[in-house]
Amino acid sequence: MTRARFAAVVGEVLDHLPELFRKRIHNVAVLVEDYPPARRPRPGAPRPRSAAPRTLLLGIFAGVPRTQKSVFQAAAGPDHIVLYQKNIEAICGSEGEVRQQIRRTLLHELGHYFGMTEEELRDL
């Protein structure tokens, strides 16, 4: 999938989140990169096609959770979520699966934005 198509699917997924949820998201950028910085494959290394979802980093929230924000803190730039396109594609077999995984990953990272821990997100 091209970066432009992947980004378009991300936008569609964001647009279709429940309105009550969307209204509570403020100043969060959603970015797309191929791979996480520390996990870029070596040139010529085969792409992991059958990797399990738990072995690849699919996305990450970078910022201060809303539950920890304070008016006394200096702004350090907007919070952001990064989705790792190649890792998401590596565990999906079709565009429909990519769309579902983007939604699942975005909801997970937005959970961190709202202050949820990994344990709380697993319990959902």
* pLDDT tens, residue order, the chain (124 aa): 999 999 999 999 999 998 888 898 888 999 999 999 875 555 555 555 544 445 789 999 998 887 777 666 666 678 899 999 999 999 999 999 999 999 999 999 999 888 888 888 787 6
What's the first-to-final CA gap in the chain, in angstroms? Answer: 30
> 3-123: which CATH topology?
Zincin-like (3.30.2010)
Helix, strand or coil, per DSSP, at residue 123: helix
- pLDDT attached to residue 63: 86
* Domain extents in the chain: 3-123
pTM, to two decimals: 0.80
DSSP letter assigned to residue 77: S
